[in-house]
């Protein structure tokens, strides 16, 4: 199996109430039936099943990603216990390296947490949506107050004490790319993992009269980033650049991780909670099942069989499919057709891919001329895709079968 990391949902509650959060505010309320914190018994089951998985698939490295909710709502003793047990397992397995990451909203980070991170070799990443204006539009507490000032204090402390600052940022087109980029430069960020907002065909993003398209926003950000000689790492850009250059990626993406909920339930990536209530539920639990049993579930059959190769007919006929790979799975979903749709951001991705290809051509004109590479014309591609023959009912049903998620369409 592809995955080499577990996202451990150590806490199923959060001290913030971000309006776009797929865990709590996009229609899935299953968290209410889960324990607030993961138990010691669940830790033991996770490590036992991890051992079996590593031995079965001969993994040489494995990462535990502490997540939530907000993982810092769990006690410091939880982390000490988990890693002490994991270290004993690592010594038993010998030729396997364990790594520990943590994704936090940053509001609770203080010197005591930093001391623990150092001691246990936990690498934290913090969620910050750029400027105070952009961040506080959505990342608020349960009283509706912005969280930016508290989060920035935590981020600065991480940078000062640990020497490295990795950030996760949901793109917000209501703030300028320049302001967002400069805000991270001021923090001296090492990496910013920009995320496309999680919407589906049934829940499209609301636009304003002065709306900036996601594609335009990404293009502006790319131009700022690529011209900066002291740029920080932006994984989404590096991924597109690598695919344009036909460089094989060796990075973790959403199909290389598995979720363990606070009650031990085994699930695919939790952004799919945006598809509806209980959508990610598999009836599998770490106390009774093995990690690779995820492949027996309808969603798992699609998700862990490289979903980038299972595309709708429009994507299959698109000349950019090897670069775009169909976009993220959640962005293809509709209740009517499951994942048998193009991404809701299809047009944005076409514009962005064309822009960075044109950038390459300007940088390497000789290579362009010698290889006879054709410049991507976004309008031509859109016109081509819009004029593809419409599917009849039989063709559509045949396509839906390959996605193996029929039972999920009524979840």
As a whole number, mean pLDDT of residues 379-388 equals 94
pLDDT tens for each residue of 100-123 = 999 999 999 999 999 999 999 999
296 confidence band (pLDDT: 50, 70, 90): confident
Distance CA 28, CA 198 (A): 14
Residue bearing the bigger pLDDT, 160 or 274: 160
Nearest in space to 236 (alpha carbons), one of 353, 321, 339: 353
In the predicted model, is pLDDT for residue 404 greater than 70? no
Domain made up of 5-272: CATH architecture: Alpha-Beta Barrel (3.20)
Residue 129 pLDDT greater than 70, yes or no: yes
> pLDDT-based confidence at 409, cuts 50/70/90?
very low
**Each residue's pLDDT tens digit, 192-224:** 999 999 999 998 988 766 678 999 999 999 999
pLDDT level of residue 306 (50, 70, 90 thresholds): low
pLDDT band at residue 78 under the 50/70/90 scheme: very high
For residues 155 and 105, is the Cβ–Cβ distance under 8 A?
Answer: no
Query: Mean pLDDT across the stretch 167-177?
Result: 96
pLDDT at 365 (0 to 100): 80
Instruction: Enumerate the domain spans of the chain.
Output: 5-272
Averaged pLDDT for residues 54-78: 96
pLDDT value for 311: 87
State which of 155-169, 268-282, 359-373, 396-410 shows the largest mean pLDDT.
155-169
Residue 167 forms beta bridges with which residues?
126, 192
At residue 254, the pLDDT reads 63
135 pLDDT band, cuts 50/70/90, is very high
- Average pLDDT of the segment spanning 278-295: 91
Res 367 pLDDT > 70: no
- Average pLDDT of 182-194? 98
Looking at residue 1, its pLDDT comes to 65
State the chain's mean pLDDT as an integer: 89
Length of the chain: 411
Residue that the structure tokens 């006690």 belong to: 75
Separation between Cα atoms, residue 341 and residue 315, nearest integer Å: 8
The pLDDT of residue 310 is above 90 = no
Q: Of the ranges 38-52, 255-269, 374-388, which one carries the lowest mean pLDDT score?
A: 255-269
Could you read off the pLDDT of 247-277 as tens digits, one per residue?
A: 876 665 666 789 999 999 998 878 888 888 8
Query: If you average pLDDT over residues 308-336, what whole number do you get?
Result: 89
Cβ atoms of 14 and 24 within 8 Å: the answer is yes
In tens, the pLDDT along 325-344 reads 899 989 999 998 888 999 99
Q: What pLDDT does residue 366 have?
A: 74
pLDDT at 257: 86
pTM above 0.85, yes or no: yes
Can you tell me the distance from the alpha carbon of 299 to that of 51, in angstroms, rounded to the nearest whole number?
24
> Residue 90: pLDDT above 90?
yes
Q: Residue 385 — pLDDT band, cuts 50, 70, 90?
A: very high
**What mean pLDDT do residues 2-11 have?**
91
pLDDT at 65: 97
For the stretch 189-208, what's the b/e string if a residue is b when 16 or more beta carbons lie within 10 angstroms of its beta carbon? bebbbbbbbbbbbebeeeee
């Amino acid at each position: 199996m592809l995955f080499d990391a577990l996202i451990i949902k150590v806490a199923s509650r959060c001290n913030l109430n971000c309006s776009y959060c797929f865990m709590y505010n996009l229609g899935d309320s299953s968290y209410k039936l889960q324990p607030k914190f993961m138990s010691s018994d669940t830790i033991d089951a996770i490590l036992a099943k991890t051992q079996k998985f590593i031995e079965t698939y001969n993994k040489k490295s494995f990462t535990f990603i502490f997540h939530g909710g907000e993982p810092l709502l769990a006690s410091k003793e939880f982390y000490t216990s988990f890693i002490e047990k994991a270290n004993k397992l690592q010594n038993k397995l010998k030729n396997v390296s364990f790594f520990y990451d943590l994704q936090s909203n940053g509001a609770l980070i203080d010197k005591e947490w930093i001391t623990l991170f150092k001691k246990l070799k936990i690498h934290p990443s913090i969620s910050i949506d750029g400027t105070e204006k952009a961040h506080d539009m959505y990342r608020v507490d349960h009283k509706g107050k912005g969280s930016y000032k508290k989060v920035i204090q935590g981020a600065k402390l991480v940078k000062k004490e640990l020497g490295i600052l990795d950030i996760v940022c949901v793109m917000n087109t209501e703030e300028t790319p320049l302001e967002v980029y400069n805000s991270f430069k001021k923090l001296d960020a090492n990496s910013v993992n920009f995320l496309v907002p999680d919407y589906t065909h049934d829940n499209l993003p609301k636009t304003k009269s002065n709306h900036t398209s996601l594609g335009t926003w990404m293009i502006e950000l790319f131009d700022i980033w690529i011209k900066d000689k002291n740029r920080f790492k932006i994984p989404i850009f590096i991924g597109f650049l690598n695919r344009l250059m036909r460089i094989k990626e060796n990075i973790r993406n959403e199909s290389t991780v598995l979720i363990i909920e606070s009650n031990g339930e085994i699930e695919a990536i939790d952004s799919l909670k945006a598809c509806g209530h209980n959508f990610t539920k598999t009836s599998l639990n770490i106390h009774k099942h093995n990690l690779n049993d995820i492949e027996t579930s309808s969603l798992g059959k699609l998700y862990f069989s490289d979903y980038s190769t299972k595309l709708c007919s429009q994507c299959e006929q698109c000349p950019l499919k090897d670069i775009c790979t169909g976009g993220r799975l959640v962005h293809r979903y509709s209740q009517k057709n499951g994942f048998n749709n193009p991404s809701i951001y299809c047009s944005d991705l076409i514009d962005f891919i064309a822009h960075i290809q044109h950038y390459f051509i300007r940088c390497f004109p000789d290579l362009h001329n010698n290889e006879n590479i054709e410049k991507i014309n976004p309008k031509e591609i859109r016109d081509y895709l819009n004029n593809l023959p419409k599917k009849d009912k039989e063709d559509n049903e045949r396509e839906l079968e390959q996605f193996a998620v029929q039972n999920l369409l009524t979840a």
